[in-house]
Amino acid sequence: MSDNKEEAIEATISELKPGMKSVNITFKVMSTSEIRKVESRRDGETYTVLDATVADSTAKIMMPIWNEAIEKIEEGATYRLLNGYTGLFRGNLRLQLGKFGSIATAEEPIEEVNLELDMSAEEHESQRRY
C-alpha cells in the first residue's frame, strides 16, 4: 500500500532535468527581474512573479518566484528549497517552488558559484502525454 509520497531527491543544479519532483536543493540568488503582474488564463486571477537566476557550484538556472514567496527572496542570499520540482517554460528548464514546496534561508552560504553552465539555456522537448 503506497501513500503516493515520493522519495525526496537531493540534487545540484547541474543534475536537474525536466519532470523531476520532490527536489531538495541549496542555491544562491544571483539576480532578480522586476516584479510583474500576470493574469492566469485558468482562473482569471492576477498574480505577481519575478524571475530569479539562482546558482550553486555546478550551474545556474532560472526560477520564477510567485506572490508571497517574493518577499522571502533577497539577491546574494543562499536558500534551501524543499520539495521543489522542475518544469519547462517555452522549452526551457525552470526550477519551481510550487504549492507544496518550501524555501528557507540556508544554514551555510554558498561562496563559489558556476555561472558558465546555464541549465535554462538548453531547449527541451515538452513531454506530451497521450
Domains of the chain: 14-105 (2.40.50.140)
d(CA 54, CA 56): 7
pLDDT tens digits, residue range 35-70? 999 998 889 999 999 999 999 999 999 999 999 999
The amino acid present at 75, given as its one-letter code, is: E
- Residues 6 or more apart whose CB falls under 8 angstroms from that of 36 comprise 48, 49, 50
> Is residue 48 a contact partner of residue 105, using CB atoms and an 8 Å limit?
no
Q: What is the reported pTM? A: 0.88
pLDDT tens for the chain, 130 residues: list them.
444 566 899 999 999 999 999 999 999 999 999 999 999 888 999 999 999 999 999 999 999 999 999 999 999 999 999 999 999 998 999 999 988 999 999 999 999 999 999 999 977 765 544 4
CA 4 to chain centre: 22
